[in-house]
Amino acid sequence: MIGRRGASSKRPIAEQVVVITGASSGIGREAAHQFAEAGATVVLAARNEQALRAAAREVETLGGTALVVPTDVSDWAQVAALAETTRDRFGRIDTWVNGAVVSSYGFLADTPVEAIDEVLSVGLRGQFHGVRAALPIMRSQGSGTIIGISSVLGVRSVPLQVPYAAAKHGTTALYEGLRVEERIAGTGVDATAILPATVNTPFYDVVPSFLGTRPPLVPPVYQPSAVAEAILHAAEHPTRHVLVGVAGPLYALQRLSPRLFDVCLHLAGRTFLDRRDAPVDRGQSNHHAPIPGEGATVGRARVALPHSRYTRTVGLRPARAAVTVALASALLLRRHRRG
């Protein structure tokens, strides 16, 4: 029996208390800005306290209230303490955004086992820790939304980022199952997975590379604002998942023909490996310790789209998305058969 309580009972963002993991950089930090502009109280979590304090000043400049709680999401006790600190300070948690991640670039055969463990530990165990810490508090309130930032790599794995894609597949599975579990139990807790494509964040210059070069940002590239917009929408209108940017068409391609996608990835992978202008790797790595400094919201891309037209018109509207995916799939299938 599917419980009835759910998406309809969400508070307006202006009244929400929002916990964000991965708030010291990129998408999490931009989401903190947008939540602050909309009037929410935000709790900022990541490892780098200096960067979190910088993010908190930005939030306060935008008129919001921020609490900094340095947290390593791979450590269950720290994540549990993050949830308890938030509840003790503000009385509740309306939205919990799980954004923290690390990755690595390289062929799996060249990737040290310690790096694989770290990617899974932060990117997948960290997501479970966030969910497990938020759930009892949200259940006791009878309301709450848990938002997991997954990726288009959460529905389609790719070469050179296999551990990350595996963590993201696990993340997608986590939210898919959690959403239905909470409905069965009628708890009023919702779960949404956000699936972006390439986003212009510091990510590409802080994760370790075992290729000798830094990874490229595969176009089209979106600014973190495009993803933050989807996160804020889900905080008031939770849904199964939101595809951001070109993730929508890629999702359709994967559903239609994984083999065709393999061919595209083979060509893209070769093009990437043959590039002569790729930035040189200087051995930077945010595994085990954060990159020191105040952090940033955006990365190195010179051109990036501030919004995703696809997400605004289709991605945030599941019914339209279903029709679009069906039409796109039919079109691609026809072309594939003709070709």
Ligand X SMILES: NC(=O)c1ccc[n+]([C@@H]2O[C@H](COP(=O)([O-])OP(=O)(O)OC[C@H]3O[C@@H](n4cnc5c(N)ncnc54)[C@H](OP(=O)(O)O)[C@@H]3O)[C@@H](O)[C@H]2O)c1
143 binds ligand X (CB under 6 A): no
Please tell me the distance from the alpha carbon of residue 119 to that of residue 165, in angstroms, as a whole number.
Answer: 10
Q: How far is the CB of 119 from ligand X (least distance, A)?
A: 10
Which of 93, 131, 206, 232 touches ligand X (CB under 6 A)? 206
187 lines the binding site for ligand X (CB under 6 A) = no
Sheet of strand 95-98: strand arrangement: 65-68, 41-45, 17-21, 95-98, 144-149, 189-196, 241-244
Is 164 an active-site residue? yes
Q: Does 157 bind ligand X (CB under 6 A)?
A: no
Q: Does 41 participate in binding ligand X (rule CB under 6 A)?
A: no
Q: How far is the CB of 22 from ligand X (least distance, A)?
A: 3
Kindly state whether residue 27 participates in binding ligand X, applying the rule CB under 6 A. Answer: yes
Nearest to 254 by CA among 246, 262, 242: 262
Give the Cβ contact number of residue 137 at 10 Å.
18
Does 199 contact ligand X by CB under 6 A? yes
d(CA 214, CA 112): 17
Closer residue to ligand X (CB): 6 or 69: 69
- Cα distances from 92 to residues 135, 141, 175, 191, in angstroms, run 12, 7, 21, 17
Among 19, 31, 73, 246, the residue binding ligand X under the rule CB under 6 A is 73
Q: List the one residue from 13, 46, 120, 232 that touches ligand X (CB under 6 A).
A: 46
Encoded one letter per residue, x for contact with ligand X by CB under 6 A and - for no contact, window 47-66 reads xx--x---------------
C-beta of 48 vs 143, nearer to ligand X: 48
Three-class SS state of 97? strand
In the complex, minimum distance from the CB of residue 9 to ligand X, in angstroms, rounded to a whole number? 27
Site string for ligand X, 88-127 (x = CB under 6 A): -----------xxxx-------------------x-----
Token pair in block for residue 7: 């998406």
In the chain, the largest separation of any two C-alpha atoms, in whole Å, equals 62
Please report whether residue 26 would count as binding ligand X according to CB under 6 A.
Answer: yes
Asked whether the beta carbons of 42 and 64 are under 8 A apart, the reply is yes
Catalytic residue among 164, 204, 222, 310: 164
Three-class DSSP category at 229: helix
Geometric angle at alpha carbon 234, from 228 and 240, rounded to 5°: 120
Residues found near ligand X in the complex (CB under 6 A): 21-28, 46-48, 51, 71-74, 99-102, 122, 149, 151, 196, 198-199, 201-203, 206, 286, 290
